[in-house]
Every structure is written in C-alpha cells, then in structure tokens.
Amino acid sequence: MAISRPSNYVWIDGDFVPWEAATVHVTTLGWSTMGAVFEGISAYWNPEQEQLYGLQFSEHYARFLNSMKLMRLQSKFTIGDLVQASIDLLRANELREDTRVRPLAYQADGTWFGTLLESATSIVISTAPFISSLGKGRKLRACVSSWDRIADNQMSPRVKCISNYQNSRMALIEATMRGYDQPIILNQQGKVTEGPASCLFIVRNGVAITPSLTSGILESITRQSILQFCRDVLGIPTQEREIDRTELYIADEVFFCGTGAEVVSVVSVDDYVVGSGEIGPVTATIEAYYHDIVRGREERYDHWRIPIYSRVGEMR
C-alpha cells in the first residue's frame, strides 16, 4: 500500500528534499543497536488570526540535543538552526492546520551490531497534520500496567529515544487488549510514573500533583508548562512528589498531559471511578487555559509561541 504524502518537503541535514525523494536504503541502518532520538512538536492554527503558531520550539530542541548527547550522537546544528529549519519547513509546506513537527536524529551508516560511534549522524525534520482533542470533552479509562517503567540506570527515560518507547508500547498493547484506553506505568518501587508518551497529574483537595523528575519520567515540556501557569496565573497549588498507586483510586481528578496527549481527563483507573466520573474542574481549567495559549489567545505566554507567517495570512 502506498504511503500518502502529508507534505511537500522534508528537511534533511540542511536541505529541503521533495517528499518522494526523502528515502533511506533499508540496509543503511544498524537496526539492532542504532541510536535514534526524536521529538514531537506542535504547531496550532488559529483560523480567526489566519496564523500558525509553533509551540515551544526552542524548549523541544534543547531536549532533542540533550537526548542526542546522551546517545553519543553528534549535531552540527544548534538549537537556533533547528528552530529556523522548522519554521522554514512549515512555510515551505504552506500549512494552514494543526501540524506536528517531527525531528529525528539517527546514526546514518550503522552496522548490524556495534557501538556505531564512528557513524555519521543525520537529522530529519518532517511535518504531518493532526486533529487536536482540546476542548472536545475527551475522557479516558486507564489501568495500572503490569510492566515496570525503565529506570535511569537501565535505559534512561530522560532520553527521548526510539528504544525507550518499547516500554510504553508494551504497556499500551496490554492495556488495549484488556479493554482500556491507556495504561499508567509504575516504577520498580511501585510509585506512579507516567502513561505512554504522556505525563500524569492527579488532583487531591485542589492541589495538582505530579511525579518528580527523578521518579522515572520524561522531562516533559508540557508538564513543566502546566506547573508554571498553575502557579503564576491560575492560582492552583502544585506538588512534585512520589504518588502511590492507591492515590490514583481516591484522587478527585486524574489527567494525562503531553505534546501528543495535550490535556486529557482520566475518569477511571482499574475500574475505580475517579471523582464524579466526569472531567473535573481543575482539569477543565487547565485544559482551557492551555488551549488559549497554544491558539495564540493568551498574551502572557507569547514567548512560548512563534508565529510562522510574518504577516497574517502570509504563505510562501
């Protein structure tokens, strides 16, 4: 089956390449031990302003380069270079819809097994449309996974690399086969970490609580943003601490967050109803405020957004 073309161009190591020509030979990659890191970055379309807003590009590319460092991948591009490449790619693809920007760095001339330390590093940035769930009242049923979260001294969850995401994939497969929407993964100490490709908050007595960065989670940009605007603007108290499994069952609210997850409510965990079984007031407030930020309706966080078109409605 042919793969549909979501955009006109892909950015590869500094050049715009037509979608059909952006290929890598199947024998190029050292599949068994290859190092590859990635990011998922969002750009949100505001139809009233006819503007596309890139969300926290610099923060994402800072994490991208940190992941590359930990995987011993070398980059000849700076954060600023990659931010500008993403802006230029979105403009070249003339996008007027919510869009994911997907950077990938990988060892470009690997062998079947080895350190690949001598391999060149290639960076690819692609774009693809997505449908946002913000403001649509989405509610999830979650379960606690039987799979433990990987630990920092095994395959550090701090690194956003392809290999690490097998941990989330196995947990998601299990949850799906059991009839749930998403799993919640515990660390080896039995404490809550996160979901697959998403961080987690619980709300108890009006306090938004999330596992600490050292509990086995990705250093989520969305999580950090929520902590910041809860404290600075919304007046919602926050805590970063260990969370017990049973706290999920007695929490007033639970929600996932992340670039892909956005902000989405969890209304049951292991068939324990969370709160009223509906989207709670704290989650709803956080989701609505986040939605205003990403759409360019909230001026206090202008510095998190990049308007892709220099003039309203400009395409080039």
Q: What's residue 315's pLDDT?
A: 46
pLDDT the model gives residue 1: 40
Are residues 165 and 290 located together in one domain of the fold? yes
Q: Which domain holds residue 226?
A: 139-299
Model pLDDT for residues 40-77, shown as the tens digit of each residue: 999 999 999 999 999 999 999 999 999 999 999 999 99
SS3 label, residue 84 = helix
pTM comes to 0.93
Answer whether 224's CB lies under 8 Å from 183's CB: no
Residue among 243, 190, 184, 237 nearest 212 (CA): 243
Q: Are residues 179 and 30 in the same domain?
A: no
Domain match, 124 and 144 both: no
Q: Which of 129, 148, 183 is the last residue of a domain?
A: 129
CATH number at residue 98: 3.30.470.10
Q: What's the confidence (pLDDT) of residue 31?
A: 64
The answer on 125 and 150 residing in a single domain is no
Rg, Å, the chain Cα set: 20
Cβ proximity of 201 and 209 under 8 Å? yes
**The pLDDT value given to residue 24:** 82
Q: Do 47 and 147 sit in the same domain of this protein?
A: no
Last residue of a domain, one of 129, 153, 181: 129
Span 246-289, pLDDT tens digits: 999 999 999 999 999 999 999 999 999 999 999 999 999 999 99
Q: Report the alpha-carbon distance of residue 269 to residue 200 in Å, rounded.
A: 13
pLDDT at 310: 81
Segment 305-315 mean pLDDT: 74
Same domain for 178 and 290? yes
Our count of domains for the chain comes to 2
Q: How many CA atoms lie within 13 A of 170 on its CB side?
A: 12
What pLDDT was estimated at residue 187?
Answer: 97
